[in-house]
Amino acid sequence: MPHYKLKYFDGRGRAETIRMLFKLGKTEFEDSRCESDEWPQIKPTITTKQLPALEIDGKQYNQSKSIINYVARTCGLFGKNELDALCIDMVIDTIDDAVPPWHVVWYSTNEEEKAKNIKHFSEVEIPVIFDRLVSLLELDHAGDFFFGNKITAADVHFLCMVEGVDIYFTNSLAKYPKLQAVFDRVAADPVIAEWRKVRPVTDW
């Protein structure tokens, strides 16, 4: 078994999907977290100057989606073939459309600007993405989850995305019962439920 070391900040962010996939796959990994004030010293050691980074037996790999795809495949959470993986990837890419508008809110320079950005985020950006996700959930390869009736990386990534959205848009799934049902099924998985209970409490 390789030795996995996942490097990220002390938050959920782009690393939480990876952590949950490792947990679901019953794969041991080192959850290495750094504080913001440590980042200037760590940054030169990261190939892309970005986190997360995954070390596999001491060799570093970068980019969150690439890591998600790798971990999901090794943990059996990316379907059985490349067509399955394509369907799962469609969901992951759609979910990631929420990142740029989320960052607009995150980097707001004052409270007035932040309030304006949150309004646009919750009333314009997120409803468009949620509508797309509903459409993906209605495709014939979907079931109780975005692909079939077992959790895949798509569902884990979705749960983590909603956790992030809810920081600025509380109860964001209220008008989306189909999406809420998927979220609840993923959250009820014993492994996911236990991790959410014991993981470090962070603001994001």
The pTM score is 0.96
Per-residue pLDDT for 133 more than 90? yes
pLDDT tens across 156-174, in order? 999 999 999 999 999 999 9
Q: Are residues 12 and 51 in the same domain?
A: yes
| 174 and 92 assigned to the same domain | yes
CATH number of the structural domain spanning residue 56: 3.40.30.10
- Does a structural domain hold residue 168? yes
What is the 3-class SS of 110-131, one letter each residue?
A: CHHHHHHHHHHHHHHHHHHHHH
Give me the domain span that covers residue 38: 4-76
For the residues 18-28, what does the mean pLDDT come to? 98
Query: To which residue do tokens 């390789």 refer?
Result: 2
Question: Which of 33, 58, 76 finishes a domain?
Answer: 76
122 and 66 assigned to the same domain: no
Residues 28 and 92 in one domain: no
Rounded mean pLDDT of 104-110? 97
Radius of gyration of the chain measured on its C-alpha atoms: 17
Q: What is the pLDDT of residues 36-58, one digit of tens each?
A: 999 999 999 999 999 999 999 99
Domain endpoint, select from 76, 100, 122: 76
Q: How many residues does the chain have?
A: 204
Domains identified in the chain, total number = 2
The reply to whether 100 and 180 lie within a common domain is yes
Same domain, 185 and 86: yes
Same domain, 92 and 162: yes
Say if residue 1's pLDDT is above 90: no
Question: For the purposes of burial, counting CB atoms within 10 Å of the CB of 141, is it exposed (0-12), middle (13-18) or buried (19 or more)?
Answer: middle
